[in-house]
A and B are shown apart, each in its own frame.
Chain A
């Protein structure tokens, strides 16, 4: 009896489900339109990316003839071999790596050092400090006055110029502060104080282990920002040995300053020109690869982090 009743209920549920899901004709047409639109968006974004990758794996002559579209023609790894064998490019890669790792360490440490006290209600003057920070988002002294500060501190043309002047982002402070405030309950602090923990001890042994997600998000934000930044290097660095990858890329890709000795005969020159063309595509892939590999894994957290920061407070 009960079995049949259950079975009856199930079919009844199914039927009602079907009636609620039923779409009208206009809605179905509308949905088809939506799908077409999304396909167009997908294609528009993906085609240039695929085009670059396809070209980077093609032979120099096919690339120079403009024959490559979405699939490699006469597949070849020559461009990658040349790029990875170029000392200028490899040094840029190494420099960018140093700036990204070092800069992220400094930035995350300083961001937490200011965001945590700002999240504590017992921290007197937190509103004043927050206003001091937010004002810098609205108004700045400008390029030259900042340059003068960096110059006076003797940071010009040193590796420090890449990591210190842009060390703390107000946005990241807000994200971290909001996270601390919403996930670390006051009771936890009180319990820790009873056990004799100081503020620093509490931060180190309780808050930080609980805040791994937000630390990961701001660390990735800083790391990607450092990896992609080129403006600070453009204005503060003169020594090519210190150039990050982005400056090397600009020289090769946009200013067309390809390295290598100029050759005498015409055939060699043509070959070099063709190689320079395909090298550009390979460089784009090589330089964006680290970021694009980690991105799908972090995208979700990245979004969450942005959302947390967007909460007004």
Chain B
């Protein structure tokens, strides 16, 4: 593709297509096709140049730059001039006692997130779909959707304020039952629950919208005939609604499981404090600290690369499995 772009500036005023075909022999190989498309629609190719350059510079050059994972990066020599060290960075990382903690923390946090945030939006969507009262339905949708638009910084701040031992209402509430106040964010054991349930709070309404759309796509005749056959609401949910949203659910689950090792940096980093790092230190936060705070670029890149590769295989693997089992995958 890039070769065709380099030839581009030639035709300023495209010749009429009839003339072009008259000059060329009638065989239409892929090459002539491409050439003809380029002559006729050169403006479209011109449009694409800048966006494509963006993807090359900010997405593909970094992939090439990742070569420093196998080098001892020196800022003076640059990514390509630095000395090769083979797999030494990876070996050092695997031998580091922190390695298993990081993998475990990342894995558990993600699995927990997927498990909790997969079924709840489905339940909410089905419940919303069951009731016909327009106003109440709209209100619930509007309110549950809202947190999705709040920034991570604000959601984390809200979580910290609400859970605060002195000011937050959660401690007041459990105080009513005689439980002494707890410093939730200071205890590593609470970290995962806080992370996951604040996530559920923020994203359930948004995810439910996707399922609601899938539910509205179900043929009403199916419901009608099930009703005539005497199916109760619960039976109709089980036999009409759930199969109807299955393809959507599979795609969302594949994406969720496929991204298990790439759980977001932002929220974990913001919720982290020196007291809870035992469980809150995940691969992404460790990469940030190694790379940008300790300036060990090669090591940070190696860890990031290790993570990306695992992720790619997870996504492809889960997609393959889902396609075999249900016939639905990300790519048809």
- Whether A31 pairs with B130 at a CB distance below 8 angstroms is yes
Q: How many angstroms between the C-alpha atoms of A250 and B160 in the bound complex?
A: 12
From A2-10, A45-53, A263-271, the one touching the partner chain is A45-53
Min CB distance, B66 to chain A, in Å? Answer: 4
- Whether A45 pairs with B201 at a CB distance below 8 angstroms is yes
Q: How many angstroms between the C-alpha atoms of A46 and B169 in the bound complex?
A: 14
Q: How many angstroms between the C-alpha atoms of A294 and B236 in the bound complex?
A: 37
**Chain A 108-140 against B: per-residue CB contact (8 Å), 1 yes, 0 no?**
001101101110101111001100110010111
From B92-100, B103-111, B186-194, B286-294, the one touching the partner chain is B286-294
- Whether A45 pairs with B154 at a CB distance below 8 angstroms is no
CB of A147 within 8 Å of the partner chain: yes
- Whether A45 pairs with B146 at a CB distance below 8 angstroms is yes
Min CB distance, A67 to chain B, in Å? Answer: 10
| Chain A contact residue count (CB 8 A cutoff) | 89
- Whether A165 pairs with B58 at a CB distance below 8 angstroms is yes
Chain B residues within an 8 Å CB radius of A168: 51, 54-55
In chain B, positions 140-164 with a C-beta closer than 8 Å to chain A are 140, 142-147, 149-154, 156-158, 160-162
Tell whether A42 pairs with B143 under 8 Å between CB atoms, given A24-B232, A230-B152, A284-B158.
yes
Min CB distance, B148 to chain A, in Å? Answer: 9
Chain B residue nearest to A246 in the complex (CB): B153
**Chain A 289-301 against B: per-residue CB contact (8 Å), 1 yes, 0 no?**
0011001100100
- Whether A138 pairs with B312 at a CB distance below 8 angstroms is yes
CB of A306 within 8 Å of the partner chain: yes
- Whether B210 pairs with A45 at a CB distance below 8 angstroms is no
Min CB distance, A87 to chain B, in Å? Answer: 20
- Whether A141 pairs with B62 at a CB distance below 8 angstroms is yes
- Whether B63 pairs with A64 at a CB distance below 8 angstroms is no
Chain B residues within an 8 Å CB radius of A113: 47-48, 50-51
- Whether A120 pairs with B153 at a CB distance below 8 angstroms is no
Interface of B is mostly: helix
- Whether B213 pairs with A307 at a CB distance below 8 angstroms is yes
Q: How many angstroms between the C-alpha atoms of A250 and B292 in the bound complex?
A: 18
Chain A residues within an 8 Å CB radius of B34: 124-125
Tell whether A124 pairs with B50 under 8 Å between CB atoms, given A149-B61, A310-B210.
no
Chain B residues within an 8 Å CB radius of A288: 149-151, 154
Chain B residue nearest to A166 in the complex (CB): B58
Chain B residues within an 8 Å CB radius of A205: none
Q: How many angstroms between the C-alpha atoms of A131 and B152 in the bound complex?
A: 31
- Whether A277 pairs with B270 at a CB distance below 8 angstroms is no
Chain B residues within an 8 Å CB radius of A138: 312, 315
- Whether B157 pairs with A280 at a CB distance below 8 angstroms is yes
Chain B residues within an 8 Å CB radius of A45: 143-144, 146-147, 201, 204-205
CB of B21 within 8 Å of the partner chain: no
- Whether B162 pairs with A296 at a CB distance below 8 angstroms is no
CB of B127 within 8 Å of the partner chain: yes
Min CB distance, A273 to chain B, in Å? Answer: 11
Q: How many angstroms between the C-alpha atoms of A139 and B52 in the bound complex?
A: 17
Chain B residues within an 8 Å CB radius of A49: 146-147
Question: Of B48, B151, B204, which contacts A287 at CB under 8 A?
Answer: B151
**Chain B 40-57 against A: per-residue CB contact (8 Å), 1 yes, 0 no?**
110111011011101101
CB of A222 within 8 Å of the partner chain: no
From A33-41, A76-84, A179-187, A210-218, the one touching the partner chain is A33-41
- Whether A143 pairs with B300 at a CB distance below 8 angstroms is yes
CB of A69 within 8 Å of the partner chain: yes
Chain A residues within an 8 Å CB radius of B332: 312
- Whether B153 pairs with A250 at a CB distance below 8 angstroms is yes
Chain B residues within an 8 Å CB radius of A111: 51
Chain B residue nearest to A46 in the complex (CB): B143
- Whether B146 pairs with A117 at a CB distance below 8 angstroms is no
Question: Of A30, A129, A145, which contacts B62 at CB under 8 A?
Answer: A145
Chain A residue nearest to B288 in the complex (CB): A143
Tell whether A224 pairs with B59 under 8 Å between CB atoms, given A114-B48, A231-B266, A307-B213.
no
- Whether A34 pairs with B145 at a CB distance below 8 angstroms is no
Chain B residues within an 8 Å CB radius of A116: 44, 47
Chain A residues within an 8 Å CB radius of B166: 66
Question: Of A27, A41, A118, A199, which contacts B140 at CB under 8 A?
Answer: A41
Tell whether A254 pairs with B156 under 8 Å between CB atoms, given A38-B128, A142-B305, A144-B300.
yes
Q: How many angstroms between the C-alpha atoms of A280 and B166 in the bound complex?
A: 15
Chain B residues within an 8 Å CB radius of A231: 265-266
CB of A206 within 8 Å of the partner chain: no
CB of B176 within 8 Å of the partner chain: no
- Whether A295 pairs with B149 at a CB distance below 8 angstroms is yes
**Chain A 43-64 against B: per-residue CB contact (8 Å), 1 yes, 0 no?**
0111011011000000000011
Chain A residue nearest to B36 in the complex (CB): A124
Chain B residues within an 8 Å CB radius of A243: none
Chain A residues within an 8 Å CB radius of B300: 142-144
CB of B234 within 8 Å of the partner chain: yes
- Whether B153 pairs with A144 at a CB distance below 8 angstroms is no
Q: How many angstroms between the C-alpha atoms of A222 and B198 in the bound complex?
A: 24
CB of A158 within 8 Å of the partner chain: no
Q: How many angstroms between the C-alpha atoms of A132 and B52 in the bound complex?
A: 9
In chain B, positions 189-216 with a C-beta closer than 8 Å to chain A are 201, 204-205, 209-210, 213
* CB-defined A-B contacts under 8 Å, sample of 13: A48-B158, A64-B167, A136-B60, A139-B312, A141-B304, A146-B65, A147-B291, A228-B151, A246-B151, A254-B270, A307-B210, A310-B213, A312-B331
In the A-B complex, the 3 residue pairs with the smallest Cβ-Cβ separation, listed nearest first, are: A141-B62, A142-B304, A145-B65
* Additional A-B contact list (11), CB under 8 Å, known A38-B140, A51-B162, A231-B266: A35-B136, A45-B147, A66-B167, A113-B47, A138-B312, A145-B66, A148-B65, A199-B43, A235-B288, A249-B154, A306-B210
